[in-house]
Chain A
Amino acid sequence: MSEQLPFNSASYFKWLSQQKIMGCRNRTSGKFYFPPRPMCTSSYTDDMEWEEVSGEGVIIAFTVITVAPTLMIEAGYGRDKPYCAGIVRLTEGPAISAQIFGLDMANPASIKIGTHVKAVFIDRGEDEAKRTYLGFEVAK
Chain B
Amino acid sequence: MDVKKLKRGVSLVGAGMTPFGTFPGLNTRDLFVQAFRDLQGSVDKGFDPKDIDALVIGNYSSTMFEGQNFMAPYVADAVGLTPIPASRVELACASSGLAIRQAILTIASGLADVVLVGGLEKESDLPIARVTDVLATASDSVYENPSGFTFPGLYATLATAYMHQYGATPETFMQIAIKNHENGVLNPNAQFGARISDIMASKQKSAEKRGKPIPSWADEMAFLKDEKANPTIAWPMRLFDCSPVSDGAVALLLVADEIASSFTDKPLHIIGYGQGSDVPTYERETLTSIKAARVAAKQAYATAGVTPKDIKVCEVHDCFTVAELIAIEDLGFFKPGEGHKAVAEGLTTRLGPRPINSSGGLKSKGHPVGATGAGQVVEVFKQMRGEAGPRQVPGDLNLGLTHNLGGSGMAAIVHIFERRH
Contacts and interface: CB of A to CB of B under 8 A. Distances in A.
Given A61-B160, A77-B148, A87-B287, A69 B234 contact: no
B248 interface: no
Contact of B143 (A69, A96, A135): A96
A64 B283 contact: no
Contacts of B237: 63
Interface in A88-114: 94-99, 108-109, 113
A71 B145 CA distance: 8
A68 to B, nearest CB: 7
Q: Which of B145, B147, B235, B236 has the most CB of A within 10 A?
A: B147
Interface in A54-85: 60-73, 77, 79, 82-83, 85
Nearest to B239: A67
A133 interface: yes
A138 B146 CA distance: 19
Interface residues of B, number: 35
B342 interface: no
A69 B235 contact: no
Given A63-B235, A87-B157, A108-B236, A97 B287 contact: no
A64 to B, nearest CB: 4
A86 B237 CA distance: 14
B45 interface: no
B372 interface: no
Interface string B149-171: 11011001111110010000000
B231 A97 contact: no
Contacts, number: 109
Given A62-B160, A63-B160, A69-B132, A85 B153 contact: yes
B136 interface: yes
A95 B282 contact: yes
A96 to B, nearest CB: 5
Range for the number of chain A residues in contact with chain B? 35 or more
A64 B227 CA distance: 14
B235 A71 contact: no
A97 B132 contact: no
Contacts of B143: 9, 35, 96-97
Contacts of B283: 94-95
A124 interface: yes
A97 B161 CA distance: 14
A58 B219 CA distance: 38
Given A60-B287, A62-B157, A62-B160, A67 B233 contact: yes
A83 B150 CA distance: 12
Given A69-B150, A85-B148, A97-B149, A64 B232 contact: yes
Contacts of B133: 69-70
B148 A72 contact: yes
B281 interface: yes
Nearest to A94: B283
A88 to B, nearest CB: 8
A124 B147 CA distance: 11
A64 B146 contact: no
A69 B158 contact: no
A35 to B, nearest CB: 6
A9 B129 CA distance: 27
Contacts of A99: 147-148
Contacts of B150: 65, 67-69
A113 B153 CA distance: 16
Interface in A32-62: 35, 60-62
B152 A67 contact: yes
Contacts of B232: 64, 66, 82, 108
B30 interface: no
B277 to A, nearest CB: 13
B142 A9 contact: yes
A71 B161 contact: no
18 contacts: A63-B159, A63-B234, A63-B237, A64-B234, A65-B152, A66-B232, A67-B233, A67-B234, A68-B150, A69-B136, A70-B129, A87-B281, A97-B281, A97-B282, A98-B147, A99-B148, A113-B160, A131-B146
Given A63-B153, A66-B234, A113-B160, 15 more contacts: A60-B287, A61-B158, A61-B164, A65-B148, A65-B150, A65-B235, A69-B132, A69-B136, A73-B129, A86-B157, A96-B282, A97-B282, A108-B232, A108-B235, A108-B236
Interface of A: 9, 35, 60-73, 77, 79, 82-83, 85-87, 94-99, 108-109, 113, 124, 131, 133, 135
